[in-house]
Amino acid sequence: MLGENKVQELARKRGALDLEGCELHLIGHLQSNKAARVVQCADMIQSIDSIKIAGEISKECVKQNRQMPVLIEVNIGRDPAKFGFLPEETEPALAEIAAFPGISVCGLMTVPPFLEEKPQIQKFFSQMFRLFLDIQGKKMDNITMDILSMGMSGDFELAIAEGSNLVRVGSAIFGERYYR
């Protein structure tokens, strides 16, 4: 699996690389005007952060006759600079999003606040895992709740210890990204 933060980078990789057997995931914030393009080139969207975006993805999936696996982004740290649903908004949002045609909710994703102290980061991962298990136990329609995507290059060990089964470690492999 390869992930990309930007739709245009994802589309470029889809067109330029031989990716047979490799999934491409959008892991960054999605603007509604890019919904058509991401539905064409992504195998999963890990960053559904609003009902509006989910609705746009649904419309495009119906137009393109596609079923898109998605993860719902949770703003577990309540960081005003981050996207996603607050923890208490997540379950009602899931119920609404799961009813959209063309979308299959497969789990949750989060990026905790950038903190230096590992116990604080671990606390957010632990809260996220509890939310994941709570929703998973409710067996909601069109929600498999198989994937918990949390942890990046600097904190993936903590995330795995707290239940993550999908981590994003691009900068550990490829180095820091510099956007022009």
| Each residue's pLDDT tens digit, 61-104 | 999 999 999 999 999 999 999 999 999 999 999 999 999 999 99
Task: Report all structural domains of the chain as residue ranges with CATH numbers, in order of start.
Answer: 2-171 (3.20.20.10)
Whether pTM exceeds 0.85:
yes
The DSSP code for 116 is S
Supply the DSSP string of 58-82, one letter for each residue.
Answer: HHHHHHHT--EEEEEEE-TT--TTS
For the chain, list residues with pLDDT below 50: 171-173
Provide CB contacts within 8 A for 107, sequence distance 6+: 71, 72, 132, 144, 145, 146, 147, 148, 149, 166
Distance spanning both ends of the chain, measured CA to CA: 25
